[in-house]
Chain A
Amino acid sequence: MANTDITSKTMDGMGPHGTVVGLLRVLGPAHVWALGVGIVLVGEYMGWNFAVGKGGAYAALIACWFAGILYTCVAMIDSEVTSTVAAAGGQYTQAKHIVGPLMAFNVGLYLTFAYTMLEAANAITAGYLIYVVSTMTGYAGELDQRPFIILVIMFLAWLNYRGVLATLTFNLVITAIAFVAILVLFLSTSGILGGGIMQHAALMEGHELPYGWIGVLAAMHFGLWYYLGIEGTTQAAEEVRSPARALPFGTLAGIMTLLIAATLTWYVCSGVLPWEFLGDGVNGSVAPLFDTARLSGSNALVWLLGIGTLFATLASANGCINDASRAWFAMGRDKYLPGWFGAVHPKFRTPYRSIIFLVPIALIFALGAPLDQVITFSILSGLLEYTFMPLNVILFRKKWPLNTIKRGYEHPFHPLPALVLLCLCGITFFAVFLGYGTQLIAMIGFYIVVSLWFHFWRYRFVNRGTQFTMPWPKPQGY
């Protein structure tokens, strides 16, 4: 099978080969785009502005573009590897085939934790948004946010349980609306349509870099927020009709969308809101795009951006449930976790046990943990995952050079993107250490402990003989 052509049209569709019930291949590039952008776009609506607090508005812009380079490397590397290793689990499956079982186990956990924590954070945010709406409509009592937090998680879990096509079509619609809302806000406030309200020069004069270059470095931590989650497109690999086409197309279109959305968001918000207010995401601007809309004086914009904020939050939580359950399912299927989790629903064709299992975990974190800790846990898991990617792609190109396996996409300038990604991850680890050193060390300690558990106990249950299913030639030097 040395000359396997995964771009062949004959490879699309379900194949039996021992599988009675498998995941359903129904998704196209637009769903892949919706999955990736849907998870991320909430970061444009809230969260990125903490970068302004760390180093000022210009520092947030520099962080936005450097993080953009980091994630462009992630998207290119992911597009090449996942269009070739087209199976559920995404980076977990990549690690299993290219690096080894211990790395795969760790990456699988990074994925599950990053997405489940992000889902919990989104549910908390949705509850808060509904609380804000209740106060804006004049409700005199104190709204209990818990039923709305639970409803968000239960509704989206139910949607995921019932089928992937409806789940990601829903994501496509609400993500598109949230993205269009940002475009409309930019057009309406920048002076392109009607009168502009931008005051960049006045707002930034004397505050260019209030904390110097160390502020720029610190801003990198929250610079990730503009794009965190775009790598989630890979989890759709086993459910797209044509992985070789849809995954690179959806992922690269996704990162381009986010680069535009992130830059427009920075431009609009930093031109209207003073940096001290914008940078305080707790007591100042919790939802900067929404605050900008309020200052525009247009009720239509207030409604549009309010709806955009809620939709972005729901899309993110929805995509996170999809991705966390696929990673958990793939690990169960290979017996990295109990094989019970590797079940597929015979009617809905979804990993239903993994979806249900992760619901109470998300609920516990959404109802019992503070938002900043939940977000930090998610960011750190994501960062560990990005650090694995350069090593992964360098080994992939070394073991299976371009002429040995046909890829759906070949990323350019190798190994430059991998080395850039590795450097930027190092810088971001330092930035995170400045603000959340204790959590970083605690988390690395946690992964060391679970790695020992896997090595000394769990590995004996792994399906060692059947876990490598790709019909690839033996690696170079084997």
Chain B
Amino acid sequence: MELWQLLEYAAWGISALLGLYMVADWLKTDTTYSEEVLTSSREGELEALTEEHRT
């Protein structure tokens, strides 16, 4: 088997591993934390922080 054929198989394999890693971590994260925590990000934190400094 030539080097380039091996590289083709390696590319398929690494792609699959990376995809599996992301999906597994995504599912683990979603089941570990509540939706409120995961979607708690709010825009304008910088400004919010200043408001807190000023009060």
Contacts and interface: CB of A to CB of B under 8 A. Distances in A.
27 contacts: A1-B47, A1-B51, A13-B49, A14-B49, A15-B45, A15-B48, A15-B52, A21-B37, A87-B44, A89-B43, A143-B4, A150-B12, A154-B18, A155-B18, A238-B43, A333-B39, A340-B39, A343-B35, A343-B38, A353-B26, A356-B22, A356-B26, A466-B42, A467-B43, A469-B48, A470-B47, A471-B47
Contacts of A151: 11, 14-15
Contact of A471 (B4, B41, B51): B51
Given A93-B43, A139-B4, A161-B22, A147 B53 contact: no
Interface in B11-46: 11-12, 14-15, 18-19, 21-23, 25-26, 29, 33, 35-46
B11 A141 contact: no
Contact of A243 (B5, B8, B46): B46
Contacts of A340: 39
A11 interface: yes
Contacts of A157: 18, 22
Contacts of B39: 333, 339-340, 342-344
Interface of B: 2-5, 8-9, 11-12, 14-15, 18-19, 21-23, 25-26, 29, 33, 35-53
Given A19-B40, A19-B41, A21-B38, A155 B14 contact: yes
A22 interface: yes
A471 B19 contact: no
A340 B52 CA distance: 29
A469 B18 contact: no
- 8 nearest CB pairs, A to B: A15-B49, A469-B44, A147-B11, A17-B48, A343-B38, A20-B40, A151-B11, A154-B18
Nearest to B20: A154
A10 interface: yes
Given A139-B2, A155-B18, A88 B29 contact: no
Contacts of A23: 41
Given A141-B2, A141-B4, A158-B18, A8 B45 contact: no
A86 B49 CA distance: 13
B14 to A, nearest CB: 6
Contacts of A352: 22, 25-26, 29
Interface residues on A, range: 35 or more
B24 to A, nearest CB: 11
B11 A22 contact: no
Contacts of B40: 18-22, 344
A449 to B, nearest CB: 28
A476 to B, nearest CB: 20
B15 to A, nearest CB: 4
A19 B14 contact: no
Contact of B50 (A10, A20, A137, A141): A10
A470 B44 contact: yes
A475 interface: no
A6 interface: yes
B45 to A, nearest CB: 5
Contacts of A8: 50
Contacts of A161: 22, 25
A144 interface: yes
Interface in A141-164: 141, 143-144, 147-148, 150-151, 154-155, 157-158, 161
Given A22-B41, A158-B18, A143 B53 contact: no
A88 B43 contact: yes
